[in-house]
Amino acid sequence: MAVRHDTAQHQAHAAPMQVTGDPGQMAQQLRLRSRRVRQADERGALAPGGQGRSGSRGTGVLGTRRSDAGSAAVEAVVLYPFVLLLVMTVIQAGVYFHARDAARWAANGGAVVAAVHGQGDGGDEARARLERAGGSTLLEDAVVTTSDDGVGVTITVTGVAKTFVPGLPALKVTQTVTVPSERFTAP
């Protein structure tokens, strides 16, 4: 009983390639064979069920293949706002930590000066350092408070860090430094 194979799949894969000693003829046979396989694949004969490369996926109502053109633009429109928000959040974190460090630097400098020269000089030094660090462009509504309990001087710098991420609440910054007061005692 003989079985006849008329499919393109059989034509592309069933016939063994005849090898000869001539390299030029062998290269030509390989090109011809790969062309047959490519043509059979384009016709859909090599896919399971003979439905083409994509099977039933990617075909429209009339059996025509749908294009992926424009899908990258849609993905970009969906993805870019999230990437932009992520970048802005990272920058906002940097601004907050910089404002916190500037407030700490100003409070530390003011506390050291207040411990040596007095409470009033320490507050002035803290305000001057805060202005050098960025002042109102870095901390809005910055307030410097000083207190001396006889044992140590405490300076607190409080303000609100600038925010530019939509929907983010105000980020309050408070840094306090306490330094022991210097006293001269009789020997």
* C-alpha span between 123 and 116 (Å, rounded): 13
Query: What is the C-alpha end-to-end distance of the chain, expressed in Å?
Result: 125
Closest by Cα among 95, 99, 91 to 175: 99
Dihedral angle sign, alpha carbons of residues 32, 36, 37, 42? positive
Q: pLDDT tens-digit profile of 117-172?
A: 866 788 889 999 999 988 888 889 999 999 888 888 899 999 999 988 888 898 99
Q: What is the pLDDT, as a whole number, of residue 2? A: 53
Q: pLDDT tens-digit profile of 50-93?
A: 454 444 455 555 556 667 777 888 888 889 999 999 999 999 99
> What is the DSSP track for 144-183?
EEEEE-SSEEEEEEEEEE---STTPPPEEEEEEEEEEPP-
User: How many C-beta atoms surround the C-beta of residue 153 within 10 A?
Assistant: 26
